[in-house]
Amino acid sequence: MNPHAALPSEGAAPGLGRPCAGGVNPHAALPPGEAATGSSVGAGLPAITSAEIAGKPAPTCVAGCASSSFGAATVGAALAGARGRLPAAEARLLLGHVTGLSHAQLVARAERALTDDEAGRFESLLARRAAGEPVAYLLGEREFYGRPFAVTPAVLIPRPETELLVELALERLRDREAPRILDLGTGSGVLAVTLALERPDAQVVAVERSPEALRVAAANASRLGAAVEFTAGDWFAPIGTVRFDLIVANPPYVGEADAHLGQGDLRFEPRHALAAGPDGLADIRRIAAAAPVHLVPGGGLLLEHGYDQAAAVRTLLAAAGFKAVASWRDLAGIERVSGASLPAGHGGA
């Protein structure tokens, strides 16, 4: 993920007002090497609250707390009381999450009374957002490629620029029947789940070294009905000798000393999923060097990277024996994804 790209306003992201429908347990771990399919994962897991998905216990409100913060304790009064603390769009998202009301309903029902519990939860979310916590973590959800994905502080928040990687992958696989796809470092599972849903004939495997993130990804697959095989491990370690038509990855690519790691949303996101060595290329180097032995001849590799890393990534791909090396720009005009193909006669040795 890229801290240098202009991130969308948390309040402007579509779909964040929809409550998370699925419960995940970020504290339960899958043993290394254990695989779970999207169709069965989540069975037997204890249900958790949306507040726990956001990484915090649900606040307890005592009688009278509603009126202490917002005076009349109505929808309109609550939003008025949030002015000056948060942008209006963010306040509406948070209040809609607490009350279950849409934006239009918040406007139409301004005189609707808040319960003590709703007022207390809204005040708690306001305070946490004012302290910098990302809206996606507070709501436990972020939209990606038109679908709602559960997110917790165990995973990176999906960014819209990553949708370019999905579009490139689908284009590359357009003429391949029943392709095998590998998603390395799946995080919340947005790439693997999206590709599985867009190409239901594909066999999609997702690898993630963080057990907590793997739980979130598997729960997203189950919730959205995607057939994905999830495996715990470090990059290619759990894959063995299986070869794929396409490998995709949005690996860590921020330099360890980058000042952006201490700013904005990045302060709250998992550091191990952001930083990769002094120049941010440590993991990309490993992936590029090892990918050929895990691709069929003519197979492809697509990597998301930082705003100033495209030339370096192209060099790494060429050095690994890839051909047709190229980079693609996102909607902001930034070279965001680089990729290449394994020559048809390449033995993968």
pLDDT at residue number 346: 64
Residue of 281, 341, 343, 291 lying closest to 313 (CA atoms): 281
CATH number of the domain located at residue range(s) 55-134 in this protein:
1.10.8
Residue 323 CA: distances (Å) to CA of 46, 133, 155, 283 = 48, 43, 33, 20
Q: Domain boundaries in the chain? A: 29-45+152-341, 55-134
Phi, psi of 253 (to 5 degrees): -150, 25
pLDDT along the chain (349 residues), means of 10: 41 30 30 38 36 44 41 84 93 95 94 94 95 94 97 95 97 96 98 98 97 97 98 96 97 85 83 88 96 97 96 98 97 96 72
Strands 203-208 and 180-184 turn out to be parallel
Instruction: Note the CATH number of domain 29-45+152-341.
Output: 3.40.50.150
pLDDT at 5: 41
Strand partners, 244: 295
Are 170 and 196 within 8 A, CB to CB? no
Nearest one of 346, 347, 298, 306 to 324, comparing CA atoms: 298
Beta carbons of 54 and 140 less than 8 angstroms apart: yes
152 torsion bin: left (phi>0), alpha (psi -120 to 50), beta (else): beta
Whose CA is closest to 126, among 76, 68, 98, 85? 85
278 token code pair: 């002094």
- Residues paired with residue 275 on neighbouring β-strands, in sequence order: 254
3-state secondary structure of 4: coil
Cα 296 to Cα 306: distance, rounded to the nearest angstrom? 27
Contact present, 36 and 43 (Cβ < 8 Å): no
Per DSSP, the residues of 149-203 read: EE--TTSPPP-GGGHHHHHHHHHHTTT-SS-EEEEES-TTSHHHHHHHHH-TTSE
Phi, psi (deg, nearest 5) at residue 324 = 50, 45
Instruction: Tell me the C-alpha distance between 22 and 41, whole Å.
Output: 12
Cβ atoms of 180 and 243 closer than 8 Å? yes
What is the predicted pLDDT for the residue at 79? 94
How much is the pLDDT for 347? 53
